[in-house]
Structure 1
Protein backbone atom coordinates (compact mmCIF):
# COMPACT_ATOMS: atom_id res chain seq x y z
CA UNK A 1 0.00 0.00 0.00
CA UNK A 2 1.43 3.35 -1.07
CA UNK A 3 -1.49 5.77 -0.92
CA UNK A 4 -4.54 5.33 1.32
CA UNK A 5 -7.63 7.49 1.80
CA UNK A 6 -9.15 7.37 5.30
CA UNK A 7 -12.76 8.45 4.82
CA UNK A 8 -14.68 8.97 8.03
CA UNK A 9 -16.29 11.26 10.58
CA UNK A 10 -15.19 12.72 13.91
CA UNK A 11 -13.70 9.37 14.97
CA UNK A 12 -11.27 9.76 12.09
CA UNK A 13 -10.81 13.52 12.61
CA UNK A 14 -9.95 12.86 16.26
CA UNK A 15 -12.67 14.56 18.35
CA UNK A 16 -11.55 14.66 21.98
CA UNK A 17 -14.51 13.61 24.19
CA UNK A 18 -13.23 15.81 27.00
CA UNK A 19 -13.56 19.20 25.31
CA UNK A 20 -14.30 18.67 21.61
CA UNK A 21 -10.88 19.80 20.42
CA UNK A 22 -8.70 17.64 18.17
CA UNK A 23 -6.58 14.94 19.75
CA UNK A 24 -2.83 15.23 19.47
CA UNK A 25 -1.67 14.14 16.02
CA UNK A 26 0.26 11.16 17.38
CA UNK A 27 -3.01 9.52 18.48
CA UNK A 28 -4.98 9.92 15.23
CA UNK A 29 -5.52 6.51 13.68
CA UNK A 30 -4.66 7.58 10.10
CA UNK A 31 -1.30 8.86 11.38
CA UNK A 32 -0.63 5.70 13.38
CA UNK A 33 -1.51 3.64 10.30
CA UNK A 34 0.77 5.70 8.06
CA UNK A 35 3.73 5.30 10.41
CA UNK A 36 3.21 1.55 10.81
CA UNK A 37 2.82 0.88 7.08
CA UNK A 38 5.26 3.56 5.94
CA UNK A 39 2.56 4.68 3.55
CA UNK A 40 0.83 7.94 2.73
CA UNK A 41 -2.51 8.03 4.52
CA UNK A 42 -4.78 10.94 3.64
CA UNK A 43 -7.07 11.76 6.54
CA UNK A 44 -10.54 12.87 5.41
CA UNK A 45 -12.47 12.90 8.67
CA UNK A 46 -15.35 15.32 9.21
CA UNK A 47 -17.37 15.67 12.38
CA UNK A 48 -21.00 14.73 11.78
CA UNK A 49 -20.37 13.10 8.40
CA UNK A 50 -22.97 10.51 7.37
CA UNK A 51 -22.90 7.93 4.61
CA UNK A 52 -25.67 9.23 2.34
CA UNK A 53 -27.89 11.36 4.55
CA UNK A 54 -28.28 15.13 4.73
CA UNK A 55 -27.69 16.95 8.00
CA UNK A 56 -28.42 20.65 7.92
CA UNK A 57 -27.24 21.24 11.49
CA UNK A 58 -23.55 21.55 10.64
CA UNK A 59 -21.45 24.32 9.12
CA UNK A 60 -20.79 22.36 5.91
CA UNK A 61 -22.05 19.48 3.78
CA UNK A 62 -21.98 16.32 5.89
CA UNK A 63 -23.34 13.97 3.23
CA UNK A 64 -20.46 11.59 2.54
CA UNK A 65 -21.80 10.31 -0.76
CA UNK A 66 -21.98 13.82 -2.16
CA UNK A 67 -18.39 14.81 -1.40
CA UNK A 68 -16.74 11.44 -2.02
CA UNK A 69 -16.35 11.72 -5.84
CA UNK A 70 -14.43 14.98 -5.39
CA UNK A 71 -12.09 13.36 -2.87
CA UNK A 72 -11.53 10.30 -5.04
CA UNK A 73 -10.53 12.55 -7.90
CA UNK A 74 -8.40 15.02 -5.98
CA UNK A 75 -6.46 12.36 -4.07
CA UNK A 76 -5.98 9.85 -6.88
CA UNK A 77 -4.20 7.63 -7.56
CA UNK A 78 -5.26 5.59 -4.54
CA UNK A 79 -4.37 2.03 -3.60
CA UNK A 80 -6.95 1.71 -0.84
CA UNK A 81 -9.97 3.55 0.57
CA UNK A 82 -10.78 2.85 4.21
CA UNK A 83 -14.36 3.78 5.11
CA UNK A 84 -15.41 4.14 8.76
CA UNK A 85 -18.85 5.72 8.86
CA UNK A 86 -22.29 5.02 10.29
CA UNK A 87 -22.31 6.45 13.80
CA UNK A 88 -23.92 9.70 12.64
CA UNK A 89 -26.47 7.87 10.49
CA UNK A 90 -27.82 6.51 13.77
CA UNK A 91 -28.90 9.89 15.09
CA UNK A 92 -32.69 9.57 15.31
CA UNK A 93 -33.26 12.73 13.27
CA UNK A 94 -30.92 11.53 10.49
CA UNK A 95 -31.79 7.86 9.92
CA UNK A 96 -31.70 6.00 13.22
CA UNK A 97 -31.30 2.41 12.04
CA UNK A 98 -28.33 0.15 11.46
CA UNK A 99 -29.93 -1.06 8.23
CA UNK A 100 -29.98 2.52 6.98
CA UNK A 101 -26.27 2.89 7.75
CA UNK A 102 -25.55 -0.41 6.03
CA UNK A 103 -27.41 0.73 2.93
CA UNK A 104 -25.41 3.94 3.02
CA UNK A 105 -22.17 1.97 3.09
CA UNK A 106 -23.38 0.00 0.09
CA UNK A 107 -23.83 3.25 -1.82
CA UNK A 108 -20.39 4.51 -0.74
CA UNK A 109 -18.81 1.33 -2.10
CA UNK A 110 -20.72 1.72 -5.34
CA UNK A 111 -19.39 5.25 -5.76
CA UNK A 112 -15.80 4.11 -5.20
CA UNK A 113 -16.11 1.22 -7.64
CA UNK A 114 -17.90 3.12 -10.38
CA UNK A 115 -16.03 6.41 -10.25
CA UNK A 116 -14.33 7.41 -13.50
CA UNK A 117 -10.67 7.54 -12.47
CA UNK A 118 -9.50 8.14 -16.03
CA UNK A 119 -5.72 8.30 -16.35
CA UNK A 120 -5.10 9.03 -12.66
CA UNK A 121 -5.22 5.42 -11.52
CA UNK A 122 -7.03 2.14 -11.18
CA UNK A 123 -10.03 1.49 -8.96
CA UNK A 124 -8.70 1.30 -5.38
CA UNK A 125 -9.33 -1.53 -2.99
CA UNK A 126 -11.93 -0.90 -0.29
CA UNK A 127 -11.78 -1.73 3.42
CA UNK A 128 -14.95 -1.22 5.47
CA UNK A 129 -14.51 -0.55 9.18
CA UNK A 130 -17.43 -0.62 11.59
CA UNK A 131 -17.02 2.07 14.27
CA UNK A 132 -16.95 1.14 17.96
CA UNK A 133 -20.45 0.97 19.49
CA UNK A 134 -21.62 3.87 21.59
CA UNK A 135 -21.87 3.57 25.38
CA UNK A 136 -23.95 5.23 28.06
CA UNK A 137 -22.71 8.72 28.89
CA UNK A 138 -22.70 10.39 32.32
CA UNK A 139 -26.24 11.71 31.85
CA UNK A 140 -27.61 8.20 31.36
CA UNK A 141 -27.97 8.44 27.59
CA UNK A 142 -25.60 8.35 24.66
CA UNK A 143 -24.63 11.36 22.58
CA UNK A 144 -27.11 12.55 19.99
CA UNK A 145 -29.84 10.24 21.29
CA UNK A 146 -28.44 7.25 19.41
CA UNK A 147 -29.82 3.84 20.31
CA UNK A 148 -26.90 1.85 21.70
CA UNK A 149 -28.46 -1.38 20.48
CA UNK A 150 -28.42 -0.05 16.92
CA UNK A 151 -24.75 0.93 17.20
CA UNK A 152 -23.94 -2.64 18.22
CA UNK A 153 -25.71 -3.97 15.12
CA UNK A 154 -23.42 -2.13 12.70
CA UNK A 155 -20.58 -4.67 12.85
CA UNK A 156 -22.59 -7.79 11.92
CA UNK A 157 -24.51 -5.94 9.21
CA UNK A 158 -21.33 -4.45 7.73
CA UNK A 159 -19.61 -7.84 7.89
CA UNK A 160 -22.45 -9.51 6.00
CA UNK A 161 -22.43 -6.73 3.39
CA UNK A 162 -18.69 -7.14 2.87
CA UNK A 163 -19.11 -10.88 2.42
CA UNK A 164 -21.77 -10.15 -0.21
CA UNK A 165 -19.65 -7.57 -2.05
CA UNK A 166 -16.30 -9.32 -1.71
CA UNK A 167 -14.76 -6.62 0.48
CA UNK A 168 -12.38 -6.63 3.42
CA UNK A 169 -13.97 -5.86 6.79
CA UNK A 170 -12.63 -4.87 10.19
CA UNK A 171 -14.58 -4.34 13.42
CA UNK A 172 -13.00 -1.41 15.29
CA UNK A 173 -15.07 -2.36 18.32
CA UNK A 174 -12.75 -5.32 18.86
CA UNK A 175 -9.84 -3.03 19.71
CA UNK A 176 -11.39 0.20 20.99
CA UNK A 177 -14.26 1.46 23.13
CA UNK A 178 -16.09 4.78 23.23
CA UNK A 179 -15.47 7.13 26.12
CA UNK A 180 -18.09 7.31 28.86
CA UNK A 181 -17.51 11.07 28.92
CA UNK A 182 -19.87 11.53 25.98
CA UNK A 183 -20.67 7.95 25.00
CA UNK A 184 -19.58 8.38 21.38
CA UNK A 185 -16.03 9.60 20.85
CA UNK A 186 -12.69 7.98 21.60
CA UNK A 187 -9.79 9.00 23.79
CA UNK A 188 -6.26 9.06 22.41
CA UNK A 189 -5.35 5.49 23.33
CA UNK A 190 -8.47 4.00 21.77
CA UNK A 191 -8.11 6.11 18.64
CA UNK A 192 -4.49 5.03 18.19
CA UNK A 193 -5.46 1.40 18.79
CA UNK A 194 -7.56 1.44 15.62
CA UNK A 195 -4.60 2.58 13.54
CA UNK A 196 -2.31 -0.09 14.99
CA UNK A 197 -4.88 -2.84 14.46
CA UNK A 198 -5.62 -1.75 10.90
CA UNK A 199 -1.92 -1.74 10.09
CA UNK A 200 -1.63 -5.33 11.26
CA UNK A 201 -4.83 -6.29 9.42
CA UNK A 202 -3.63 -4.77 6.15
CA UNK A 203 -0.14 -6.23 6.53
CA UNK A 204 -1.58 -9.71 7.15
CA UNK A 205 -4.00 -9.36 4.24
CA UNK A 206 -1.20 -8.44 1.86
CA UNK A 207 0.80 -11.50 2.88
CA UNK A 208 -2.17 -13.85 2.40
Structure 2
Protein backbone atom coordinates (compact mmCIF):
# COMPACT_ATOMS: atom_id res chain seq x y z
CA UNK A 1 0.00 0.00 0.00
CA UNK A 2 1.21 3.49 -0.89
CA UNK A 3 1.47 6.24 1.74
CA UNK A 4 0.38 9.78 0.96
CA UNK A 5 0.74 12.85 3.20
CA UNK A 6 -1.97 15.48 2.60
CA UNK A 7 -0.29 18.60 4.00
CA UNK A 8 -2.42 21.71 4.11
CA UNK A 9 -4.40 24.32 5.98
CA UNK A 10 -8.10 24.70 6.78
CA UNK A 11 -9.07 23.55 3.28
CA UNK A 12 -7.46 20.22 4.14
CA UNK A 13 -8.72 20.18 7.73
CA UNK A 14 -12.24 20.72 6.40
CA UNK A 15 -13.29 24.07 7.88
CA UNK A 16 -17.01 24.55 7.25
CA UNK A 17 -17.74 28.06 6.02
CA UNK A 18 -20.06 30.04 8.26
CA UNK A 19 -20.11 27.48 11.07
CA UNK A 20 -16.55 27.31 12.42
CA UNK A 21 -16.90 23.54 12.51
CA UNK A 22 -15.41 20.67 10.51
CA UNK A 23 -16.86 18.88 7.52
CA UNK A 24 -17.72 15.23 8.03
CA UNK A 25 -14.94 12.70 7.49
CA UNK A 26 -16.31 11.26 4.27
CA UNK A 27 -16.49 14.59 2.38
CA UNK A 28 -13.09 15.99 3.32
CA UNK A 29 -10.91 15.81 0.23
CA UNK A 30 -8.10 13.56 1.61
CA UNK A 31 -10.68 10.93 2.55
CA UNK A 32 -12.54 11.24 -0.76
CA UNK A 33 -9.18 10.73 -2.46
CA UNK A 34 -8.42 7.68 -0.33
CA UNK A 35 -11.79 6.14 -1.16
CA UNK A 36 -11.25 6.78 -4.84
CA UNK A 37 -7.90 5.00 -4.71
CA UNK A 38 -9.72 1.85 -3.69
CA UNK A 39 -7.57 0.80 -0.75
CA UNK A 40 -4.32 1.09 -2.71
CA UNK A 41 -3.08 4.03 -0.65
CA UNK A 42 -3.23 5.36 2.90
CA UNK A 43 -3.93 9.10 2.83
CA UNK A 44 -2.82 10.93 5.98
CA UNK A 45 -4.92 14.02 6.78
CA UNK A 46 -2.63 16.77 8.00
CA UNK A 47 -4.59 19.99 7.86
CA UNK A 48 -3.95 22.85 10.29
CA UNK A 49 -6.24 25.89 10.32
CA UNK A 50 -4.28 29.01 9.44
CA UNK A 51 -1.17 27.14 8.30
CA UNK A 52 1.21 29.14 6.13
CA UNK A 53 4.03 27.87 3.97
CA UNK A 54 7.01 29.49 5.70
CA UNK A 55 5.70 32.63 7.37
CA UNK A 56 5.19 33.41 11.06
CA UNK A 57 1.73 34.30 12.32
CA UNK A 58 2.13 36.15 15.59
CA UNK A 59 -1.63 36.51 16.08
CA UNK A 60 -2.11 32.98 17.42
CA UNK A 61 -0.75 30.70 20.12
CA UNK A 62 -0.10 27.74 17.81
CA UNK A 63 2.86 27.61 15.44
CA UNK A 64 1.36 27.78 11.96
CA UNK A 65 4.57 27.74 9.90
CA UNK A 66 4.42 24.84 7.50
CA UNK A 67 8.20 24.79 7.21
CA UNK A 68 8.42 24.05 10.94
CA UNK A 69 5.78 21.31 10.90
CA UNK A 70 6.78 19.53 7.71
CA UNK A 71 10.08 17.95 8.83
CA UNK A 72 8.44 16.42 11.89
CA UNK A 73 5.65 14.98 9.78
CA UNK A 74 8.04 13.59 7.18
CA UNK A 75 9.85 11.78 9.97
CA UNK A 76 6.68 10.60 11.70
CA UNK A 77 4.96 9.18 8.64
CA UNK A 78 7.86 7.75 6.63
CA UNK A 79 7.99 5.91 4.36
CA UNK A 80 6.01 8.21 2.11
CA UNK A 81 5.38 7.78 -1.59
CA UNK A 82 3.77 11.16 -2.20
CA UNK A 83 3.45 14.48 -0.38
CA UNK A 84 0.57 16.70 -1.50
CA UNK A 85 1.21 20.33 -0.47
CA UNK A 86 -1.97 22.42 -0.53
CA UNK A 87 -1.16 25.83 0.96
CA UNK A 88 -1.07 29.51 0.08
CA UNK A 89 -4.23 31.29 1.18
CA UNK A 90 -2.86 32.14 4.61
CA UNK A 91 0.36 33.46 3.07
CA UNK A 92 -1.51 36.34 1.45
CA UNK A 93 -4.12 37.29 4.03
CA UNK A 94 -1.77 39.81 5.68
CA UNK A 95 -1.56 43.10 3.81
CA UNK A 96 2.18 43.27 4.50
CA UNK A 97 2.73 40.24 2.25
CA UNK A 98 -0.31 40.15 0.04
CA UNK A 99 1.31 38.52 -2.99
CA UNK A 100 0.85 35.12 -4.54
CA UNK A 101 4.54 35.37 -5.34
CA UNK A 102 5.27 35.13 -1.60
CA UNK A 103 3.29 31.89 -1.48
CA UNK A 104 5.25 30.71 -4.51
CA UNK A 105 8.54 31.29 -2.72
CA UNK A 106 7.21 29.48 0.34
CA UNK A 107 6.17 26.55 -1.83
CA UNK A 108 9.68 26.33 -3.24
CA UNK A 109 11.05 25.98 0.27
CA UNK A 110 8.56 23.25 1.20
CA UNK A 111 9.49 21.26 -1.90
CA UNK A 112 13.16 21.64 -0.97
CA UNK A 113 12.46 20.40 2.56
CA UNK A 114 10.56 17.38 1.27
CA UNK A 115 13.34 16.44 -1.11
CA UNK A 116 16.31 17.03 1.16
CA UNK A 117 14.95 15.62 4.43
CA UNK A 118 17.09 12.95 6.09
CA UNK A 119 14.90 9.91 5.53
CA UNK A 120 15.97 6.56 6.93
CA UNK A 121 18.44 4.80 4.63
CA UNK A 122 15.88 2.28 3.43
CA UNK A 123 13.51 5.01 2.20
CA UNK A 124 13.75 7.47 -0.65
CA UNK A 125 12.29 10.97 -0.91
CA UNK A 126 8.62 10.92 -1.97
CA UNK A 127 7.13 12.46 -5.08
CA UNK A 128 5.61 15.92 -4.57
CA UNK A 129 2.29 17.29 -5.84
CA UNK A 130 1.64 20.98 -5.25
CA UNK A 131 -1.94 22.19 -5.29
CA UNK A 132 -3.05 25.75 -5.96
CA UNK A 133 -5.97 26.80 -3.73
CA UNK A 134 -9.21 28.06 -5.28
CA UNK A 135 -9.25 31.86 -5.48
CA UNK A 136 -10.91 33.83 -2.73
CA UNK A 137 -14.24 35.53 -3.43
CA UNK A 138 -16.23 38.46 -2.08
CA UNK A 139 -18.06 37.90 1.19
CA UNK A 140 -20.39 39.94 3.36
CA UNK A 141 -19.08 38.30 6.54
CA UNK A 142 -17.48 41.15 8.48
CA UNK A 143 -14.60 39.18 9.98
CA UNK A 144 -13.59 37.36 6.82
CA UNK A 145 -14.06 40.36 4.53
CA UNK A 146 -11.57 42.22 6.73
CA UNK A 147 -9.31 39.16 6.79
CA UNK A 148 -8.86 38.59 3.07
CA UNK A 149 -11.04 40.64 0.69
CA UNK A 150 -7.97 42.73 -0.10
CA UNK A 151 -6.19 39.58 -1.27
CA UNK A 152 -8.76 38.41 -3.84
CA UNK A 153 -6.84 39.62 -6.93
CA UNK A 154 -3.62 37.96 -5.78
CA UNK A 155 -5.42 34.70 -4.96
CA UNK A 156 -6.28 34.40 -8.65
CA UNK A 157 -2.56 34.12 -9.40
CA UNK A 158 -1.84 31.01 -7.31
CA UNK A 159 -2.17 28.63 -10.25
CA UNK A 160 0.11 30.73 -12.43
CA UNK A 161 2.89 30.86 -9.85
CA UNK A 162 2.61 27.25 -8.70
CA UNK A 163 2.71 25.96 -12.27
CA UNK A 164 6.04 27.75 -12.65
CA UNK A 165 7.37 26.16 -9.45
CA UNK A 166 6.27 22.72 -10.62
CA UNK A 167 7.96 23.11 -13.98
CA UNK A 168 11.19 24.52 -12.56
CA UNK A 169 11.48 21.96 -9.77
CA UNK A 170 10.21 18.95 -11.65
CA UNK A 171 7.26 18.22 -9.36
CA UNK A 172 3.58 17.65 -10.10
CA UNK A 173 0.92 20.38 -10.15
CA UNK A 174 -2.85 20.56 -9.77
CA UNK A 175 -5.09 23.64 -9.82
CA UNK A 176 -7.92 23.11 -7.34
CA UNK A 177 -9.57 26.24 -8.70
CA UNK A 178 -10.50 24.27 -11.80
CA UNK A 179 -12.85 22.02 -9.83
CA UNK A 180 -13.79 23.98 -6.70
CA UNK A 181 -14.91 27.48 -5.76
CA UNK A 182 -14.75 29.31 -2.44
CA UNK A 183 -18.00 29.59 -0.48
CA UNK A 184 -19.19 33.24 -0.40
CA UNK A 185 -20.42 32.62 3.14
CA UNK A 186 -16.89 33.54 4.23
CA UNK A 187 -15.10 34.00 0.91
CA UNK A 188 -12.36 31.42 1.35
CA UNK A 189 -13.45 28.08 2.74
CA UNK A 190 -15.31 25.34 0.90
CA UNK A 191 -18.73 23.76 1.22
CA UNK A 192 -19.03 19.99 1.34
CA UNK A 193 -19.54 19.55 -2.41
CA UNK A 194 -16.48 21.58 -3.31
CA UNK A 195 -14.09 19.98 -0.84
CA UNK A 196 -15.25 16.55 -2.03
CA UNK A 197 -14.80 17.64 -5.64
CA UNK A 198 -11.10 18.24 -5.03
CA UNK A 199 -10.64 14.73 -3.69
CA UNK A 200 -12.50 13.24 -6.65
CA UNK A 201 -10.47 15.21 -9.19
CA UNK A 202 -7.21 14.19 -7.56
CA UNK A 203 -7.91 10.47 -7.91
CA UNK A 204 -6.71 10.12 -11.54
CA UNK A 205 -3.86 12.56 -10.91
CA UNK A 206 -2.53 10.55 -7.98
CA UNK A 207 -3.06 7.25 -9.76
CA UNK A 208 -0.93 8.55 -12.59
CA UNK A 209 1.84 9.73 -10.28
CA UNK A 210 1.99 6.52 -8.25
CA UNK A 211 1.17 4.08 -11.02
CA UNK A 212 -1.72 2.48 -9.16
TM-score normalised by structure 1 residue count: 0.95
Instruction: Tell me the SS of whatever aligns to 1:7.
Output: strand
**Aligned residues of 1:176 and 1:191 also touching (Cα < 8 A):** yes
**Correspondence for 2:34:** 34
**Correspondence for 2:180:** 176
**Correspondence for 2:165:** 161
**Correspondence for 1:127:** 129
Map Cα deviations across residues 51-85 of structure 1 (whole Å, 9 max, x no partner).
00000222310000011100000010000000000
Matched, 1:117 2:119: yes
CA RMSD of aligned residues (A): 1.8
**Aligned residues of 1:55 and 1:94 also touching (Cα < 8 A):** no
In the alignment, structure 1 segments of 5+ residues that lack a partner are: none
Structure 1: distance between partners of 2:189 and 2:122: 35
Structure 1: distance between partners of 2:9 and 2:96: 15
**Correspondence for 2:108:** 106
Within-5 A mapping of 1:56-75? 56-75=58-77
Structure 1: distance between partners of 2:110 and 2:134: 19
**Aligned residues of 2:141 and 2:185 also touching (Cα < 8 A):** no
Instruction: Tell me the SS of whatever aligns to 2:174.
Output: strand
Q: CA deviation at 1:95?
A: 2.3
TM-score normalised by structure 2 residue count: 0.93
Q: CA deviation at 1:205?
A: 4.1
